[in-house]
Amino acid sequence: MIETDPSLLETRAAWALVIAFALSIAYELWRATAKAGTSRHDTMRGFLTQCLGLYLPAAAVIGLLFAGVGAAAWIGLAFSIAMIVISVLYYNPTIMLERRPALIDWIEDLFFTGLLFVAAALLLFEVLGDALV
């Protein structure tokens, strides 16, 4: 893959993903410690497993976007869309409901998913060759 300087859209999308996944890590760590045992998902083992399966790929995608790798926008767009689909069709109807969510859980979910939509929109503009201005 050829490295170039990342575009403004790629950089902004990368920052949206950084914020989304930093929020998610903080939230999941809080669930694994302060809410441990509330559901089968709220354990330190679950958190560590999630780190490998979710946060490492996210870090790789973010790194590609910041590095300006040629196909980074396409990879980031596919990743963002996949995460939105997983959030809406799997996480919310299964994991979220098993956790007996309070207001903070729904707020975190809305911010996380919303930031994924922001990243996806920015990257869609990028791959279509459009600009924000």
Q: What is the pLDDT of residues 5-15, one digit of tens each?
A: 899 999 999 99
Distances (CA, A) of 126 to 58, 120, 132: 19, 10, 9
Task: Report the pLDDT value the prediction gives residue 120, as an integer from 0 to 100.
Answer: 98
Task: Report the pLDDT value the prediction gives residue 95, as an integer from 0 to 100.
Answer: 87
Token couple for 35: 């809410």
| Nearest-angstrom CA–CA distance, 114 and 88 | 11
Distances (CA, A) of 116 to 31, 35, 69, 85, 128: 21, 25, 20, 10, 18
Chain centroid offset of residue 119 CA: 9
Percent of the chain scoring above 90 in pLDDT: 70
- Average pLDDT for residues 89-94, to the nearest whole number? 92
| Nearest-angstrom CA–CA distance, 69 and 85 | 25
pTM of the full structure: 0.91
**Torsion region of 100: left, alpha or beta (phi above 0 gives left; psi -120 to 50 gives alpha):** left
The answer to whether 109 and 50 are in contact (CB under 8 A) is: no
Cβ-proximal residues to 79 (8 Å cutoff; 6+ apart), any chain = 57, 58, 61
- Average pLDDT for residues 78-107, to the nearest whole number? 93
pLDDT in tens, 24-69: 999 999 999 988 888 888 889 888 887 788 999 999 999 999 999 9
- Average pLDDT for residues 107-120, to the nearest whole number? 97
